[in-house]
Amino acid sequence: MEGTVSMPIKSMRLENRNYLAAQYVKGKLHHFFSYHPYESLKDRVNHLQTRTFPRSELSSILIKMNKAWGASSETLRQIERLQHPESVVVVGGQQAGLLTGPLYTIHKIISIIKFANMQEEKLQIPVIPLFWIAGEDHDYDEINHIFTTPNNKLTKRKIAQEEWLKVPISDLHIEKTKAEQWMKQIFHDITETEHTKPLVEKLFTHLGKANTFVDFFARIVLDLFKEEGLVVIDSGNEDLRSIERDIFIQLIERQPEMTKAINSTAEKLHQAGYHLQVDVTPSDANLFYHDERNERILLMRDGNHWVGKHEEVKLTTEELRQIAREHPERLSNNVLSRPFMQESLLPTLSFIAGDGEISYWALLKHAFHAFDDDIKMPPVIPRLSITLINARLKKLIENRQLDERMIINNGCHQVRLNWLTAQQNPPVQVIFKEAERQLRQTHEPIQSLTEQVNPTLRNEAEKNLQQLLRTLQYLEQRTINEMEKKYAWELSQFKEVELGLRPREQLQERVLNILPFLNECGANIINAILQQPFSFKEDHYIVFLQDLT
């Protein structure tokens, strides 16, 4: 899209941010990380220049992978730049959610691209934006649905395809008929606009060309960010496994030292009062073995043996090394070993992380040293956190004189109740509060009298008071219920605002999908959001969207 598009944005503080992540961005956890998130990255570049990476092999795999997903010429140009000896990458990743999953995946990609562009301008070297699809993960229930809001009601739309085995998402074939039916339901849930038809055609085309859930995800992402040269990698790709053999062997051989380092750091974090996103134990192997059905089995270390968590398999260290050498496709990483694989393959300038990821990366500094003395944990940069507000929601917020920052932090329930009870003069709550006060005052002589006559009667008098108060509370609630019926239309607007800004009492980005925003404003909103002057030091941004037809 030509020209700069200016959209109003606001920064804000999040009240309930993950405590460890909040302390990290304040610089209070620097001893758990190798780099400060907001300092110059020149030292990091110098460190990367001392190391070697499989640039040629990786570039060939990436070109094959991205071409298969219909990547743009700009993406292919970025991959070619990876062969430049001074080039580096900004990387972040997520599972392959349907229609890209929750909005935070889109925000993470925007963060990767923005940060890569900023650093290329500062460092004057090629900086490549790379998104790492966690295709080796098997958590199908995490990716098989999105939430929509038909008739002002949050609804979970789950694809009818059922999966029972813990198969990597990279290998999970998508059942086209069920996926098409699911997509038709999704589009039935949203209001048709001038953007709907081309959006439907494009998404159904991507689905038609996709074989797996990862294929479908990658095609959409590469299309949305085609002008930005985003490079996508699937961690579960079999060709990629071919250049990971030696890294798997190193993970196997260094496992005792790495696990010891992770557990020691976890203990220090616990003692410092931090809650971790992952549980760690001294027997963690942090690797998965794939059985003959390609089902992932989490391995634990038991002396010289590597056993399934539920004793599904038992291997000696030498047998596991042999599997790594001859059949690396039968191994995969978990969240704690993936950073080492990623760091061994890629010249990582920085890793873009969500708050939960910051929590488990805090465990890894000394584990990196245990893995390889020549490797340092990369700088961990908190991703951009964003709430999108369309024109309709903006108008409702203004008409109701609401504070969008307060709603994002706390929701709309109390504001809605305050508005409702204020529709009577005096307000309902004031009337019933005064009635309660007078009831207690009127009842006090009765309680005093009963105590004088017989102290045991005081309990009966107290029970009588509580019964009267419950009757009063019941009448108050019935009054509010009747008022809710009377003001149903006005209250639905409060509900709509809450669904848009804080659904399920969570940040918008953790629940809603990008689809309704593309449908309302057009695909150009991606470019427009990318053009906004975000700072990575802010907790959260509010972006007021415009139709960019």
pLDDT at 548 over 70: no
Same-domain pairing of 63 and 198 = yes
Count helices and strands in the chain by DSSP H and E runs = 24, 15
pLDDT at 212 over 50: yes
Same-domain pairing of 454 and 525 = no
Same-domain pairing of 537 and 435 = no
CA distance 438 to 445: 12
pLDDT at 285 over 50: yes
Peptide bond into 426 cis (omega under 30): yes
pLDDT at 154 over 60: yes
Same-domain pairing of 95 and 178 = yes
CB-based burial of residue 349 (10 Å sphere; 0-12 exposed, 13-18 middle, 19+ buried)?
A: buried
**156-201 pLDDT tens trace:** 999 999 998 999 999 999 999 999 999 999 999 999 999 999 999 9
Residue range 233-239: average pLDDT? Answer: 95
Same-domain pairing of 433 and 537 = no
Segments forming the whole domain that contains residue 423? 395-507
DSSP annotation of 537 reads T
pLDDT at 485 over 90: no
Same-domain pairing of 73 and 178 = yes
| pLDDT at residue number 272 | 92
Residues in the chain: 549
**361-410 pLDDT tens trace:** 999 999 999 999 999 999 999 999 999 999 999 999 999 999 999 999 99
CA distance 113 to 127: 10
Residue range 44-71: average pLDDT? Answer: 97
CA distance 34 to 486: 60
Going by pLDDT thresholds of 50, 70 and 90, the confidence category of residue 487 is confident
Count how many Cα atoms sit within 13 Å of the Cα of residue 417 in the half-sphere of its side chain: 9
Residue 469 located in a structural domain: yes
Residue 364 located in a structural domain: yes
Same-domain pairing of 345 and 403 = no
pLDDT at 149 over 60: yes
* Mean pLDDT, rounded, of the chain: 94
Residue 294 located in a structural domain: no
**69-112 pLDDT tens trace:** 999 999 999 999 999 999 999 999 999 999 999 999 999 999 99
Residue range 282-295: average pLDDT? Answer: 95
Same-domain pairing of 66 and 139 = yes
Same-domain pairing of 351 and 437 = no
Q: Are 384 and 541 in contact (CB under 8 A)?
A: yes
- The gap from C-alpha 405 to its chain's centroid, in whole angstroms, comes to 20
Residue 520 located in a structural domain: yes
Domain tally for the chain?
2
Q: Which of 227, 99, 183 has its CA nearest to residue 517?
A: 99
CA distance 404 to 498: 10
Q: Give me the percent of the chain exceeding a pLDDT of 70.
A: 99
Same-domain pairing of 365 and 476 = no
Residue 38 located in a structural domain: yes
Residue 416 located in a structural domain: yes
| pTM, two decimal places | 0.91
Going by pLDDT thresholds of 50, 70 and 90, the confidence category of residue 3 is low
Same-domain pairing of 471 and 357 = no
Residue 259 located in a structural domain: no
| pLDDT at residue number 1 | 42
Q: Which of 470, 281, 263 has its CA nearest to residue 367?
A: 263
| pLDDT at residue number 434 | 84
pLDDT at 2 over 70: no
Residue 173 located in a structural domain: yes
Structure tokens at 236: 């579960």
Please give the residue that has the higher pLDDT: either 393 or 430.
393
| pLDDT at residue number 361 | 96
Residue range 121-142: average pLDDT? Answer: 96
Same-domain pairing of 67 and 182 = yes
| pLDDT at residue number 549 | 59
